[in-house]
Structure 1
Amino acid sequence: MIFVAVLAGGIGSRMGDTDTPKQFLNLGDRPILIHTIEKFVIMDEIDEVIVLTPQNFINHTKHLIEEYTLNNDKIVVIEGGKTRNDTLKNSIDYIYENYSVDDDSIIITHDSVRPFVTHRIIQDNIKAAKKYGACDTVIPATDTIVESRDGKIIKNIPIRDYFYQGQTPQTFKINKLNSLINDLTDGEKEILTDAAKIFVLKGKDVALVDGDVTNIKITYPYDLKLANTILNDKND
């Protein structure tokens, strides 16, 4: 089986003067979250889309799904966690509680505020996860990377050709991911930034999947302006 975890548990504190989490802000004439969910629900190979939101936005999310007539037989909305990795674990626990999972079952994890993910990227994620057990969507770094440990002095300027910018989806065989999560030390949990790092910390391979420069994450007000420009270009 193939599951999707849309990680919509954040509050969007960097979006500026708004009380609404960024995933619920409008992109064009629909909320960002709706744009994101629909990319997955229309794909026949995906069995269920799990949307994880703050507890006080669960009913609002369900209402939006009904309002925009998405295939809600294929969507479930549950509570996210305090951190990104807690939210991910909530999705895995839900899957184990409601489905019979085998070693080939896959979970696709995706930021709720990356609404321009393409079907090509999703399909490449599925193929790579089936082959390698784990994959991460990336694009090559175009800017020079500068390392500083104190924020004042450059310590190192690594070779740019070796570096990539991470996007999502990140996709994994569920049993393998869950086993590694359960094996994490408290110290390892504190330095986690995303699910792919769980595999890296444990010395497991994570395959690269080509992303796209338009697969942006809407974090700041400028990103939302850029996203509207991208949307308008796609609709022209």
Structure 2
Amino acid sequence: MIYAEILAGGKGTRMGNTELPKQFLMLGDKPIFIHTVEQFMLNRRIDKILICCPEAWISYTKDTLKKYIADRSKIVVVKGGASRNDTIMNGLNFIESEYGLNDDDIVLTHDAVRPFLTQRIIDDNIDGAIKYGAVDTVVEAFDTIVHSTDGETITDIPVRSEMYQGQTPQSFNLPLLKNFLASLSEDEKNILTDACKALVIKGTPVHLVRGEVYNMKITTQHDLKVANGLVEGQKI
């Protein structure tokens, strides 16, 4: 089976003083995470969609889904964890307990606040995860990347043609990811907060899937204004 695991556990501290976590803020005429869910709903290859959110927001998430999505038969709301890796693992444990685990199962992990992913990106992630076992969505770095270890002076300026900006989905063979996350120590989980980075450091190749510049993550008020501009532009 092919699962989409939407990570909706962020508190949105960089969004400023808002009443709701950022994934629940309005984008156009519906909450941000609803746009994201709808993109996965459109893809017929996705068998189940898990929305992983804080326990305190599970009821709110379910109520919001009822308001905006008529057919919720493919959607399940799952309790998230204290960290990104813990949240992903909670979703994988739920999948195993409810549906069993097969060697060829695929999971796409995606930020709830990246509502502009496309069907092409979803399909390329599925195909890549089936072929390679682990893929990360990226776009080329258009600006020069400056590396600084102290935040005061330049440590290095990497070759731009070798630099990419990471997006999501990050997609995996499900048993591979589950076994790998289970093998990490608590210290490693705290340091290796990105699953693809952790796999690379531990020696597992992660292949690239090309994303889109507009597959943006809505993190700040400025991001939200830009995103609303994109939504308005889609209506023209």
Q: Verify same fold: TM over 0.5.
A: yes
| Partner Cα separation in structure 2 for residue 210 and residue 188 of structure 1 | 28
Secondary structure of the structure 1 residue equivalent to 2:50: strand
Structure 2, unpaired ranges of 5+? none
1:81-96 counterparts in 2 under 5 A? Answer: 81-96=81-96
Structure 1, unpaired ranges of 5+? none
Look up the match of 2:132. Answer: 132
Secondary structure of the structure 1 residue equivalent to 2:116: coil
Taking structure 1 as the reference length, what is the TM-score of the superposition? 0.97
1:195 matched to 2:170? The reply is no
1:69-148 counterparts in 2 under 5 A? Answer: 69-148=69-148
Secondary structure of the structure 1 residue equivalent to 2:81: coil
Secondary structure of the structure 2 residue equivalent to 1:234: helix
Look up the match of 2:5. Answer: 5
| Partner Cα separation in structure 2 for residue 106 and residue 52 of structure 1 | 17
Secondary structure of the structure 2 residue equivalent to 1:151: coil
Look up the match of 1:27. Answer: 27
| Partner Cα separation in structure 2 for residue 54 and residue 228 of structure 1 | 25
RMSD: 1.0
| Partner Cα separation in structure 1 for residue 75 and residue 136 of structure 2 | 23
Q: CA, structure 1 residues 114+74, in 2 after alignment: closer, same or farther (shift >3 Å)? A: same
- Larger CA deviation: 76-85 vs 178-187: 178-187
Secondary structure of the structure 2 residue equivalent to 1:72: coil
What amino acid sits opposite 2:179 in the alignment?
S
Q: Percent identity over the alignment?
A: 50
Q: Say if 1:41 and 1:71, in contact at 8 Å, map to a contact too.
A: no
Q: CA deviation at 1:122?
A: 0.2
What amino acid sits opposite 1:217 in the alignment?
K
Look up the match of 1:43. Answer: 43
- Larger CA deviation: 219-228 vs 94-103: 94-103
| Partner Cα separation in structure 2 for residue 66 and residue 155 of structure 1 | 51
Q: CA deviation at 1:235?
A: 1.6
> After TM superposition, where is structure 1 displaced by more than 6 Å over at least 4 residues in a row?
none
| Partner Cα separation in structure 1 for residue 174 and residue 70 of structure 2 | 26
Look up the match of 2:60. Answer: 60
Look up the match of 1:167. Answer: 167
Q: CA deviation at 1:185?
A: 2.8
Look up the match of 2:17. Answer: 17
1:178 matched to 2:173? The reply is no
Taking structure 2 as the reference length, what is the TM-score of the superposition? 0.97
| Partner Cα separation in structure 2 for residue 185 and residue 39 of structure 1 | 35
